[in-house]
Amino acid sequence: MTEPTPLLECRDLTVGHGKVSVIRDFNLSLQPGQVLAVLGPNGAGKTTLMTSIAGLIPRMAGQVIVNGTPLRNGRPGVANRSGVVLVPDQRALFNTLTVRENLYLARKKGGPELAETMEMFPALAKRLKLAAGELSGGEQQMLAVARALVQNPKVLLIDEMSMGLAPVIVEDLLPMVRQVADQSKVVVVLVEQHVKLALEVADQAIVVVHGSVHLRGSAAELAANPARLEEAYMGGAADVAV
């Protein structure tokens, strides 16, 4: 039986700044509706990985492939038109524009209507006339994700959804990632420091340390092996599966 074509692949991806590699020989393969949690200590290269997949940083080597088509290197417009959408860690909202205006500016032809998107974010639906800069941190993060969804993504990259948010707010937000993947069948790659919560919503997980994958497996397997997870964070043997 023929294996289905992955929606997102990275093959031997190496990324860096100048001549210094930050991510080395990175590989992944994800099917529609899957969520990958990318874990690891600060400075491990997780954000560099995300921005490279989005085309914002040129690759030193390797390929990023979306739905069977290799993406041109270092071309964020090409990546976006191919369905790759990044939610950056600083959200990058237009703070003086309203929620509605932020969404209309981002929406692509053929993307979901505003009312459809707001069904996932009922709290945000009550703030459509409010300026983005006047929202709470949690509401701003909802808007950042909603703005990504109206671009009709195939691959949704979310970098540090919990940045600057209280843990109780993160507990409410992260299940939204699972809902998005299940309903829209997009691939979600989630960089997150709240390990336990991330593993609860993800299908697969990897731990990145010093630019290399030190542990990979199903999210359930990693959650069930906290000692192995801790060892990986400390730089245990690279690319070990549980």
Residue pLDDT tens, the chain, 242 long? 566 889 999 999 999 988 889 999 999 999 999 999 999 998 899 999 999 999 999 999 999 999 999 999 989 999 999 999 999 888 889 999 999 999 999 998 877 888 888 888 888 989 999 999 999 998 999 999 999 999 999 999 999 888 878 888 888 888 889 999 999 899 999 999 899 999 999 999 999 999 999 999 999 999 999 999 999 888 766 666 65
Specify whether the backbone of 4 is left (phi greater than 0), alpha (psi in -120 to 50) or beta: beta
Per-residue burial over 107-134, b if 16 or more Cβ lie within 10 Å, else e, is: beeebbebeebbebbeebbebeeebbee
CA–CA distance, 195 with 95 (Å, rounded to integer): 30
Position 157 in a domain: no
In a domain, 7, yes or no: no
Residue pair 46/191 in contact by the 8 Å Cβ criterion: yes
Q: Please give the pLDDT value at position 46.
A: 94
- Give the angle subtended at the CA of 84 by the CAs of 136 and 36, to the nearest 5°: 75
Whether 150 contacts 144, CB under 8 Å: no
Task: Give the integer Cα–Cα distance in Å for 123 and 128.
Answer: 10
**pLDDT recorded at residue 161:** 84
**What does the block give as tokens for 114?**
């505003």
Q: What DSSP string describes 89-130?
A: TT----TTSBHHHHHHHHPPTTSPPHHHHHTT-HHHHTTTTS
Tokens 């919560």 locate to 197
Domain membership of residue 143 (yes or no) is: yes
What's the total number of domains in the chain? Answer: 1
- Token output for 140: 């701003």
- Identify whether 122 is part of a domain: yes
In a domain, 161, yes or no: no
113 lies in a domain?
yes
Q: Using alpha carbons, select from 140, 53, 131, 60 the residue that is nearest to residue 98.
A: 131
Confidence (pTM): 0.92
Three-state DSSP at 69 gives strand
Question: Do the domain assignments include residue 205?
Answer: no
Q: What is the pLDDT of residue 2?
A: 61
**Residue 128 belongs to what domain range?**
93-152
142, part of any domain: yes
Alpha-helical regions (H) of the chain: 46-53, 76-81, 99-106, 114-118, 122-125, 137-149, 167-184, 195-201, 219-223, 226-233
